[in-house]
Structure 1
Amino acid sequence: MTDEDLHAHLLELGLEAARRAGALLKDGRPADLGVAATKSSPIDVVTEMDIAAEKLITGYLSEFRPTDGFLGEEGASSPGTSGVRWVIDPIDGTVNYLYGRPDWSVSIAAEIDGQVVVGVVAAPMRGETYHAVVGQGAWMGERRLACRPAPPFAESLVATGFGYLTDRRTQQAEVARLLIPRIRDIRRCGSAAIDLCDVAGGRLDAYYERGLNPWDLAAGDLIAREAGALTGGRPGEPPSGELALAATPGLFDPLQHLLERFGAWHDGDPGA
């Protein structure tokens, strides 16, 4: 199988797994949905549907590729032997899902030898599915995506997110306070994968956040890059838990500079 054939095969599986999980989550959400567990803090929650969706995704993919590895938010972890690893967030935006808000997504990425080559983000309540294959552009359904031309920095629309640890979110709020006077406005969706896809599709000029995990980033970062956005972390570094940033070219460097200056990459006091 050529690389192109393998990528196409992985994309087909990722799209179908995301479609099935999205249907389960959208149509099977119980009216009395509650918290099944917590993660980093009492307000960082897991629902029974997170667990069910991850099980559905890993089970489906394993039928076709039993030797692949997995890294999932809700515990799926195996190295595999094929060189392919699936990075899965069954519900990116679990608190939104718990409250019946529409901004949640299913995020599935495929890595080959550590490089993300396929990304799929399904946003069922929007009726939208995004995908990208490395070197082949980013798409929403049949429409090819392209990030927006860079506006003047003061006219940029920037999204961010807030973590669930008190010290971290306090710092994140302070960074946002410092940033807001310098831009058009700020948005907070609650799903990193959706925010990254919105940069790809021109609905945002930029997005940044501290504290993301590989499953939050993997698919959306590829989609943003394939749509022409620049992505990274702190200056000279890739996106990471310290800082993840995606922006249309022309905004990336000045925004990264400000985020570094404001201390967006740590949980202490921001700079002046």
Structure 2
Amino acid sequence: MNHQEMTQKIARGDGFIAALDQSGGSTPKALTGYGYQGNEWSDDEAMFGLIHDMRTRIVKADSFASGKVIGAILFERTMDGEIDGKPVPQVLIDKGIVPFIKIDKGLEDEVDGVQLMKPMPTVTDLLIRARDLGVFGTKERSVINLANAEGIRRAVEQQFDVARQVLAHDLVPIIEPEVSIKSPERAEADRMLLAAILSQLNSIPNGQQVMLKLTLPHEAGLFQPLVDHPKVLRVVALSGGFSRAEACAELARNPGMIASFSRALLSDLRHDHSDDDFDRTLGTAIGEIYDASTARVPG
């Protein structure tokens, strides 16, 4: 796939984007969810080796190449790694799956109800490396915990500042200002976020597009103006702590949004599964998420 073909697949393809981008802070939790006890690794290298083995098994599974997964978000070390001697992004491309890379370095402490992204001093080098490896786009995450208009404005402004850097390197940014599903002000935070994003979209040059990765809104259909916006290539949803069943049910109530799930996709996989059980379990999750991503259930 060339860049234009990837753009068309993401813009119009039926399916969803798998989030395989657990980073250093979230990797131990991902591995314990995968059935490890926590004493199987003694240092970061061993830990990252186990998570790479997990991702390799996922990517090589027949169900992952079923056509229902149209994109995958990678962690930097995964992007730089290989599967059977071939760079991971190229393995995905060969399977018809569009590769993305997580570029944020984690979150700052909460101020004004939001957690901004930490500084990214090496982002230019990462963007160049990603583009050279055939990566299509990036993903960067901040978190909104409260309906604080100033905090939300700053979080979205920071996201779009990074997005313009990404666009300048001929990559497509996925902007992810996650509203916590535990927020006591979730519905109002959703509305403030919508207004802030619509305002910032005006700063994107004509002819360029961004993607958005958002928490499934408290009010179904709230983000339809973003789904329909000419400067938005696609709106994808994070599972945000919902179970797969809950996330799929909510997603189906928001036509036009597709999934970009991590935990909801991988939660039933175990490292000691036989290959057949692994593929069958992954295939079940992929099928359910695909159905929800392609459903057209009015909110």
TM-score normalised by the chain length of structure 1:
0.26
TM-score normalised by the chain length of structure 2:
0.24
Q: Which has the higher strand share?
A: 1
Structure with greater contact order relative to length (CA < 8 Å, sep ≥ 6): 2
